[in-house]
Amino acid sequence: MKDNQAKIIKEETVFDNHFKIKKATLQITNPNGEWSEEMERMNFERGDSVAAVIYIQDKDEYLFTRQFRYPTYQTDNGWILELVAGSVEEGEEPIETLKREIMEEAGFETDEPVHLSTFFVSPGGTSERIHLYLCNTSSDRQKEQGGGAEEENEHIELVFLSKEDVKRRLAAQEFNDAKTLIGLLQTIK
């Protein structure tokens, strides 16, 4: 593999309202080692996120959230079954975010999270990385109702599925959220 390089000539924020979109003028080295012509690229700046495969050991169940996701509304019905997840806030470590999100969305305390992987969601258009964890817990460790942060207008339904139901749904291709698929494929045996 060659030593590929890139240089940012100019970068500006062209949208800044909850999310940011940056536009860059840049050059990269071609496979022959020469610099390319200048090109423009856009970056949907999301920052890092966390997600948790939550396994409830005493019930042999997995915990999911079901919530409305506007960007999926036109091609699906907008309601997505997915892992507990959230954005890492400035100054926060991913583990802090993970614990906060699990409590807000599901109301559970868990064992120490086990890191599974960190991956880019869609590197052709966004900088978002997800830090994915496995979190074991038990049914008696639900300390709050969950359902999401009211001030964020989250309306989260908790969905508990047996390991066998998760396997069946995976085989039937019923999960359509990337982080959820990656997490389940890494943990379901």
The pLDDT value given to residue 121: 94
Number of H helices, E strands in the chain: 3, 10
How far apart are the two ends of the chain, measured CA to CA in Å? 35
Task: Answer yes or no: is 85 a known binding residue.
Answer: yes
- pLDDT at residue 3, as a whole number: 75
Taking the domains of the chain in order of start, what are their residue ranges? 6-45, 48-187
Sheet with 6-17, side-by-side order of all strands: 6-17, 19-28, 39-45
Write the CATH number of the domain with boundaries 48-187: 3.90.79.10
pLDDT at 149 over 80: no
154 is in an annotated binding site: yes
- Check whether 100 has a pLDDT greater than 70: yes
Is it the case that residue 151 has pLDDT exceeding 80?
no
For residue 61, say whether it is annotated as part of any ligand binding site.
Answer: no
Amino acid 114: pLDDT? 97
Question: Among the listed ranges 10-24, 61-75, 138-152, 174-188, which one has the minimum average pLDDT value?
Answer: 138-152
pTM of the full predicted structure?
0.90
Residue 1 has pLDDT above 60, yes or no: no
Mean pLDDT, to the nearest integer, of 131-141? 97
**For residue 98, pLDDT beyond 60:** yes
Whether 105 has a binding-site annotation, put simply, is yes
DSSP 91: T
Per the model's pLDDT, the better-predicted residue between 3 and 82 turns out to be: 82
Q: Rounded mean pLDDT of 114-131?
A: 96
Q: Which of 12-16, 29-33, 42-46, 59-63 has the lowest mean pLDDT?
A: 29-33
Chain centroid to Cα 7, Å, comes to 28
Return the pLDDT at 169: 96
The band of 152, judged by pLDDT with boundaries at 50, 70 and 90, is: low
Q: Are 111 and 137 in contact (CB under 8 A)?
A: yes
User: Over 80: is that where the pLDDT of 150 sits?
Assistant: no
